[in-house]
């Protein structure tokens, strides 16, 4: 059985993820990064993006931008 990453490529795409430092947001971000998509991570001011950003940059060759925004 093939992995999702072998079937779908998001290379050249970007995803804006709100609630990016929460559990669901982090998993979504990691999945999109695994598929090759660049990330725009959005969460409330004061959120800590360090862990997810380092994880993504250490494992995949994608761009990550972090934005503080209270929606």
Domain span at residue 9 reads 1-36
What does the pLDDT read at residue 6?
Answer: 78
Measured in whole angstroms, how far is the alpha carbon of residue 34 from the centre of its chain? Answer: 9
- 54 falls within a domain: no
Number of domains in the chain: 1
pLDDT tens for the 71 residues of the chain, in order: 777 777 889 999 999 999 999 999 999 999 999 999 999 999 999 999 999 999 999 999 999 999 999 88
- 22 falls within a domain: yes
What does the pLDDT read at residue 60?
Answer: 97
- 21 falls within a domain: yes
What does the pLDDT read at residue 51?
Answer: 94
What does the pLDDT read at residue 71?
Answer: 80
pTM of the complete model: 0.88
Contacts of residue 62, defined as CB under 8 A and 6 or more positions apart, other chains included, come to 33, 36, 37, 38, 39, 56
- 41 falls within a domain: no
């Amino acid at each position: 059985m093939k992995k999702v990453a072998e079937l779908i490529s998001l290379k050249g795409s970007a995803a804006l993820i709100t609630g990016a430092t929460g559990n669901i947001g982090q998993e979504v971000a990691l999945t999109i990064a695994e598929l090759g998509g660049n990330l725009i991570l959005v969460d409330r001011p004061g959120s800590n993006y360090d862990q997810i950003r380092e994880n993504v940059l250490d494992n995949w060759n994608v761009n990550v931008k972090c934005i503080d925004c209270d929606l």
